[in-house]
Amino acid sequence: MKKVHNFNAGPCVLPQAAIDATIEALKDFSGTGMPVICVSHRSKEWDAVMDETRALWRELLDIPEEYEILFLGGGASTQFLMVAMNLLENKAAYLETGVWAKKALKEAKGIGNAVCVASSADKTYCYIPKDYEIPTDADYFHITTNNTIYGTEIKYDMDCPVNLVADMSSDIMSRPVNVRKYALIYGGAQKNVGPAGVTFVIVRKDVLGKVTRYLPTMLDYRTHVDGLSMFNTPPVFAIFVMKETLKWVKSLGGVEAMHKLNVEKADLLYNEIDRNSLFVGTAAKEDRSIMNVCFVMAPGHEDLQDEFMAFAKERGMVGIKGHRSVGGFRASLYNACPKEDVQALVDCMKEFEKLHK
């Protein structure tokens, strides 16, 4: 197989151990004689998978018992609506730090009174807003912790005077999180915890059932709490891969070890961007994401963009093209991205610079 260095933003690189275990489960799942994609979700073998997956979430993030862990379909984009439907009674507050945060706010506005407390749209979302006030009469305050398109990240668990809700699609399990500071955390799995097809929700039970509006059965979190995420057929394949991915995270030492490695990878690439005369980072340095590193050609070298893209592709770099809305380059350094791949990209950038000195 051709050696590639996978920097795709999602679906993205997964641990080889998880892939290998999944291949075996596609041949014979848990001695059933059936592939995992054909097994009944009402079987005792599948119950064991669900129990183990929830237990891994609880252990890795130290999730208290007063929180439920849900595995749903529909992606994080469906959660934009579900959060507002289940939690917004009088007012909701949002921090707009990128396209996905803006889309979440749009869905909330369709449900009720949702306000933007601060936005970084004035500078193409290249920084995280500071010095804003969270309205204390809000039912919740919504943040997007990592912004994949623009390469910014909220890298701490903030104190919040109201229920804190976070879209952690692209940085969950990349660092320790104090779950107790949040009322609800959600995200798509396809960055750090599995393949596309399953969405995780971590919700404190006491925030549910407070709204007076009618909630459609499938959009009511209580439906899935009561049904143990199996009110309807769950995305069994994606959940199985998630389980194996979380086992891999645990085997390496958990989220603390992942965070140490992720910081090392990000520093390695950011240091080269700052050193290299041909490239420049696009995110404010204090807000740089350790998951998605965004950069462009330095002023005066813009005409080299296509040449560098082809140069990098020849050397096995995959997925470094920036999002279509911003251009440039983006290297996604999710948990399963090896440090060796980051070094390969750094070496590629150094080699390209030498050719143009």
Centre a 10 Å sphere on the Cβ of residue 352 and count the other Cβ atoms it contains: 18
Annotated active-site residue 109? The verdict is: no
Annotated active-site residue 339? The verdict is: no
Which one is catalytic: 100, 139, 243, 341? 100
Q: Which pLDDT tens digit goes with each residue over 55-76?
A: 999 999 999 999 999 999 999 9
pLDDT of amino acid 87 = 98
DSSP H or E segment with residue 275 = helix 254-275
Alpha carbons 356 and 68: distance in angstroms, whole number? 55
Which one is catalytic: 139, 167, 171, 220? 167
Alpha carbons 332 and 150: distance in angstroms, whole number? 11
Contact 90, 140 (CB under 8 A): no
pLDDT of amino acid 1 = 60
User: Number of helices and strands (H, E) in the chain?
Assistant: 9, 14
Q: What is the pLDDT along the chain (357 residues), one digit of tens a residue?
A: 668 999 999 999 999 999 999 999 999 999 999 999 999 999 999 999 999 999 999 999 999 999 999 999 999 999 999 999 999 999 999 999 999 999 999 999 999 999 999 999 999 999 999 999 999 999 999 999 999 999 999 999 999 999 999 999 999 999 999 999 999 999 999 999 999 999 999 999 999 999 999 999 999 999 999 999 999 999 999 999 999 999 999 999 999 999 999 999 999 999 999 999 999 999 999 999 999 999 999 999 999 999 999 999 999 999 999 998 888 999 999 999 999 999 999 999 999 999 998
Q: How far is CA 162 from the centre of its chain?
A: 23
Half-sphere exposure (Cβ direction) of 349: Cα atoms closer than 13 Å:
26
Contact 7, 330 (CB under 8 A): yes
pLDDT of amino acid 326 = 87
Which one is catalytic: 139, 155, 191, 243? 191
Centre a 10 Å sphere on the Cβ of residue 53 and count the other Cβ atoms it contains: 25
Alpha carbons 247 and 18: distance in angstroms, whole number? 8
Taking Cα atoms as reference points, which of 350, 255, 273 lies closest to residue 311? 350
Alpha carbons 33 and 160: distance in angstroms, whole number? 50
3-state class percentages of the chain: helix first, strand second, coil last, to nearest 5: 40, 15, 40
Cis peptide before 11 (omega within 30 of 0): yes
279-281, strands of its sheet edge to edge:
279-281, 292-297, 329-332
Contact 185, 172 (CB under 8 A): yes
Contact 42, 52 (CB under 8 A): no
Contact 317, 340 (CB under 8 A): no
Alpha carbons 106 and 1: distance in angstroms, whole number? 44
CA 222, 226, 229, 230 dihedral sign is negative
DSSP secondary structure letter of residue 136: T
Q: Which pLDDT tens digit goes with each residue over 173-209?
A: 999 999 999 999 999 999 999 999 999 999 999 999 9
Q: Hey, what domains does the chain have and what are their CATH numbers?
A: 16-251 (3.40.640.10), 254-355 (3.90.1150.10)
Annotated active-site residue 167? The verdict is: yes
pTM over 0.95: yes
